[in-house]
Amino acid sequence: MKIVTPAVFRIGALALAACNQTASAPASTGIMTSSSGTGCNGEVSRYRAVMSNDLAMGHVNQSVYNRVDREIAQAETACAAGRDAEAVRMVNATKARHGYL
């Protein structure tokens, strides 16, 4: 039987203590989560939130944001008219055109 020396024991205890550390939660980016709506309304609101965040962070310029906003407004109109599937397709097409899929 091998005897554990105090130095080896302390190293093991430190390693175990490091495993029990908890990471802090990341800061909120302001993007809405999946609870921000369902169906086409949820798709529209989530993508608007992503685009607003990207504009605020400087990932897209104002002209791209304006173009996307016009396209999403059309999808929002289709959604309000009860054409859910069409609205979701429109959002997905806009995402694909601008590299968000």
pLDDT in tens, 43-91: 999 999 999 999 999 999 999 999 999 999 999 999 999 999 999 999 9
CA distance 87 to 79: 5
pLDDT at 1: 55
Q: Which two tokens stand for residue 56?
A: 């605020």
Q: How buried is 67 (Cβ within 10 angstroms: 0-12 exposed, 13-18 middle, 19+ buried)?
A: middle
* Reported pTM: 0.64
Residue carrying the six token digits 């400087």:
58
Instruction: Name residues whose C-beta falls within 8 Å of residue 52's C-beta, 6 or more positions apart in sequence.
Output: 30
